């Protein structure tokens, strides 16, 4: 790292998790002496692919491809999702050598059997690009061109997001340790905890086994005036965070371990009684996407049967 160099962290986020970004930022800065700039990427002007099967799975899936342009095509940058917390010095991640590659992504997934048994988890954990390092000097990405490539049928969503097909294999290094994107697992070696399972994120669901770590970070922020209870209340009023969250932040760490399950059940009952619907906007977007795909595929089948080609966008 050069003297006075700024560690630039670009965060993919939608409106429902916007308040998670300052918690992530606080956790990064609390564990380093480096100068850090955190940039939330909210509502970027990303084109919508013509084929709905290639549209974003989240409101920010394609944001990472905007980073080189946002960084002025200069220097290196880190990409992270908003639903994360950092426990070690970000310089350990920042200083991973590129060794000729243009991007560095996660090299493996550990503790898969342990984390897929939890409620709300997927059946399998895939290789991740939720934490990435980018050499912006050598990446000429333009999001319009990348989406156009999908529209031309050169690749699909999975090939773009899972295989990074817009780069040669030699330009992708699998060098981010699992500890820097620890999926729903925390131990003394964890550098970054990723609350990746939407259904159990601690700000929307009760009983996340690692939720106490997020609550403790928020308490740090409240004590130092980096966050206000009114900020959390606003998210609750907007329906993004659960009503019982403030009660958990204030009191859950005082509850004896044998009684915490009952505490969580009461909070979950209280949230449901209040009419709270977790991730309402996120799941509505998923339903709309599924409906668009169904309509598109039906029209595709009809046109193929009639010999008229691809459906209109």
What is the tens place of the pLDDT at every residue in 36-63?
A: 999 999 989 999 999 999 999 888 999 9
Considering only 75-84, 122-131, 165-174, 264-273, which range has the smallest mean pLDDT?
Answer: 122-131
Alpha-carbon distance of 263 to 65, in angstroms, equals 42
Q: Domains plus CATH for the chain?
A: 6-280 (3.90.550.10)
Q: What is the full DSSP assignment across 15-38?
A: GGGTTHHHHHHHHHHTT--SEEEE
What is the tens place of the pLDDT at every residue in 82-100?
A: 999 999 999 999 999 999 9
Instruction: Please state, in angstroms and as integers, the Cα–Cα distance from residue 212 to each residue in 111, 245, 248, 272, following that order.
Output: 20, 11, 9, 21
Alpha-carbon distance of 180 to 192, in angstroms, equals 5
Yes or no: say if 199 and 127 are a contact pair by the CB < 8 Å rule: no
The yes-or-no verdict on residue 112 having pLDDT over 50 is: no
Model confidence at 7, pLDDT cuts 50, 70, 90, reads very high
Question: Which residues lie closer than 8 Å to 164 by C-beta, 6 or more apart?
Answer: 103, 105, 129, 172
Model confidence at 309, pLDDT cuts 50, 70, 90, reads low
Instruction: Please state, in angstroms and as integers, the Cα–Cα distance from residue 271 to each residue in 119, 205, 286, following that order.
Output: 18, 9, 23
Burial letters 36-48, b for 16+ CB under 10 A, else e:
bebebbbeeebee
What is the tens place of the pLDDT at every residue in 279-289?
A: 888 888 889 98
Say what the pLDDT of residue 1 is. Answer: 55
Say what the pLDDT of residue 259 is. Answer: 97
What is the tens place of the pLDDT at every residue in 161-218?
A: 988 899 998 999 999 999 999 999 999 999 999 999 888 999 999 999 999 999 999 9
Question: Which residues lie closer than 8 Å to 155 by C-beta, 6 or more apart?
Answer: 149, 165, 166
Say what the pLDDT of residue 313 is. Answer: 54
Question: Which residues lie closer than 8 Å to 224 by C-beta, 6 or more apart?
Answer: none
Say what the pLDDT of residue 124 is. Answer: 43
Percent of the chain having pLDDT more than 70?
A: 90
Percent of the chain having pLDDT more than 90?
A: 78
What is the reported pTM? Answer: 0.88
| 211: nearest Cα among 243, 183, 248 | 248
Taking each helix axis from N to C end, the angle separating 211-224 and 20-29, rounded to the nearest 10 degrees, works out to: 80
The per-residue pLDDT of the chain, averaged, comes to: 91
């Amino acid at each position: 790292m050069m003297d006075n160099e700024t560690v630039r962290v670009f965060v993919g986020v939608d409106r429902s998790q916007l308040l998670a970004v300052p918690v992530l930022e606080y956790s990064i800065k609390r564990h380093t002496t480096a100068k850090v700039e955190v940039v939330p990427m909210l509502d970027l002007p990303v084109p919508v692919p013509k084929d709905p099967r290639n549209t974003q799975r989240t409101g920010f899936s394609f944001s990472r491809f905007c980073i080189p342009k946002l960084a002025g095509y200069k220097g290196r940058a880190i990409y992270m999702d908003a639903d994360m917390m950092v426990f070690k010095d970000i310089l350990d991640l920042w200083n991973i050598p590129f060794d000729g590659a243009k991007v560095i992504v996660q090299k493996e997934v550990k503790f898969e059997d342990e984390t897929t048994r939890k409620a709300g988890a997927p059946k399998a954990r895939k290789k991740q690009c939720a934490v990435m390092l980018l050499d912006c000097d050598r990446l000429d990405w333009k999001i319009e061109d990348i989406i156009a490539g999908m529209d031309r049928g050169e690749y699909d969503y999975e090939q773009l997001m899972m295989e990074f097909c817009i780069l040669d294999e030699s330009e992708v290094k699998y060098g981010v340790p699992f500890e820097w994107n620890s999926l729903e697992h925390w131990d003394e070696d964890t550098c970054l905890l990723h609350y990746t399972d939407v259904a159990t994120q601690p700000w929307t669901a009760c009983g996340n086994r690692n939720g106490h770590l997020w609550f403790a970070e928020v308490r740090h922020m409240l004590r130092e005036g980096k966050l206000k209870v009114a900020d959390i209340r606003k998210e609750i009023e907007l329906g993004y965070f659960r009503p019982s969250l403030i009660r958990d932040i204030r009191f859950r760490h005082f509850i004896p371990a044998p009684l915490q399950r009952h505490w969580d059940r009461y909070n979950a009952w209280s949230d449901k009684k209040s009419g709270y619907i977790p991730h309402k906007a996120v799941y509505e977007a998923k339903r709309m996407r599924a409906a668009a795909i169904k309509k598109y595929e039906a029209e595709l089948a009809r046109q193929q049967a009639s010999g008229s080609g691809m459906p209109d966008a």
